[in-house]
Amino acid sequence: MRTYWDFYSAGKLLFGPGVLKRLGPEMRQQGFMQPMILTDRNIVAAGIVDRVLESMQIPPDQVTLFDKGEPEPSLKVASQAIEVAKASVPDVMIGLGGGSNMDLAKVTALLHAHGGNISDYYGFDCVPSAVTPIIAIPTTSGTGSEVSHAAVLTDSKQELKVSTLSHHLRPCMALVDPELTLSCPANVTAESGMDALTHAIEAFTARYPSDMTVGDETSLPYPGKNPLADLLAEKAIRLISTHLETAVKQPRNMQAREAMALASTLAGLAFSNGAVAVVHALEYPLGVSLHCSHGLGNWLLLPYVMRFNRPNRLQAFAEIATFLGCDTSNLSVEKSADLAIHAVEILKDSLGIPARIRDLGASREQLPEFAKKSHGIERLMDLNPRHPSEKDLHAILQDAY
């Protein structure tokens, strides 16, 4: 039985409005002279790449710019980035954008350092040693990839999300400047914000290390529920509940943007040192097949998975209700847990984006296949507080349909 947990982050975390100006000095201090920036055209158009270049103060002929990043990046785009890296021999990868570009930078850093095929590294702990250093600069508030050990890509042929998880993929530096999220479109703000909320809620309600079936010596991708991840998740939920709607409806509101940027990084630390579970497992096949963002897929599923998990985590859900601002005084733990689910549904409805799986054009006939594929993601099933059968997963999907 495992009785301990461990904790990791980016090598260095810099946070706050205007902190982008520290990029150049930090790079010089670490001796990085030949960066490759992995980004996309929206980030270029928003003027963010120019700001990064200005901060770096490195001659343009020493900088490689890869701007072909895309949402939920495909294996094809990753292969293109790796080819560019081979030709330009960068000494640091800069993931600039949302989770998609940061994950692309992680995979490029991995293949640039170790060669082989991306598929050689699927799963946990398959990266033999350090990768090319990664600097992560998020421009959305949601994924927490800037501090996490995960990189997720889309295998369009097999209609699957594939991931590699390794502590070697945690960036050497995460630079979180909330000003960079001011241009983030409303739907991306809403959907990535729900991803952060899902990270925090799944971490807070996950299995305990002592409930895991694996032994002491086994290295795990996620250690499960623990007090430090709980603390981070609690703060993230409080911030999201107070500020997400404002960030969506008043995109230039700096206080809301800063709060969401902080919530996202805290939730990233919580899940990558705690857990994600059944919401994420169900989202992977659903998101690929319905071509929706990761955050939107999570959003469609979160309250229904909470309802499934409720019997096994009454106390945790009752606490979540208070983090979400509900008044639970004089309420039983059962009623308080119900309030948490209700509060998530209210938040969901307040943001005016699709609410049901059917709204994305899915048919009911697709649901059994989603359930089957999700059930196969054992590492996430094991982290869920209530172990679902394939039939349970199908029932959750039907509720969310």
Which residues here bind Zn ion, judged by CB under 5 A?
A: 195
At a CB cut-off of 8 Å and minimum separation 6, what does 55 contact?
Answer: 20, 21, 22, 23, 24
Comparing CB distances to Zn ion, the nearer of 9 and 264 is 264
Q: What's the closest the beta carbon of residue 247 comes to ligand NAD, in angstroms?
A: 12
| 263 touches, from ligand NAD, Zn ion, none (C-beta below 5 to 8 Å by class) | none
Q: Is 58 left (phi over 0), alpha (psi -120 to 50) or beta?
A: beta
Q: What's the closest the beta carbon of residue 167 comes to ligand NAD, in angstroms?
A: 13
Candidates 317, 231, 325; CA nearest to 270 is 231
Comparing CB distances to Zn ion, the nearer of 132 and 163 is 163
Is residue 215 within 8 A of residue 265, CB to CB? The reply is no
Which of helix, strand or coil describes residue 401?
A: coil
The type of residue at 232 is: L
Candidates 230, 278, 8; CA nearest to 125 is 8
Residue of 10, 20, 43, 306 interacting with ligand NAD (CB under 6 A): 43
Contact range with ligand NAD by CB under 6 A, out of 10-18, 24-32, 184-192, 220-228: 184-192
The residue nearest Zn ion at its CB is 195
Q: What backbone torsions phi and psi does residue 283 show, to the nearest 5 degrees?
A: -70, -35
Q: 150 vs 9, 55, 60, 115, 165, CA distance in Å?
A: 12, 27, 30, 18, 4
Decide: is 55 part of the binding site for ligand NAD (CB under 6 A): no
Decide: is 344 part of the binding site for ligand NAD (CB under 6 A): no
Comparing CB distances to Zn ion, the nearer of 166 and 272 is 272
Q: What's the closest the beta carbon of residue 138 comes to ligand NAD, in angstroms?
A: 7
Decide: is 184 part of the binding site for ligand NAD (CB under 6 A): yes
Decide: is 281 part of the binding site for ligand NAD (CB under 6 A): no
At a CB cut-off of 8 Å and minimum separation 6, what does 254 contact?
Answer: 17, 178, 179, 182
Decide: is 189 part of the binding site for ligand NAD (CB under 6 A): no
| 226 touches, from Zn ion, ligand NAD, none (C-beta below 5 to 8 Å by class) | none
Is residue 172 within 8 A of residue 147, CB to CB? The reply is no
Comparing CB distances to Zn ion, the nearer of 195 and 258 is 195
Q: Which residues of the shown chain bind ligand NAD in the complex (CB under 6 A)?
A: 40, 42-43, 46, 71-72, 97-101, 103, 139-140, 142-145, 148, 150-152, 180-181, 183-185, 188, 192, 195, 293-295
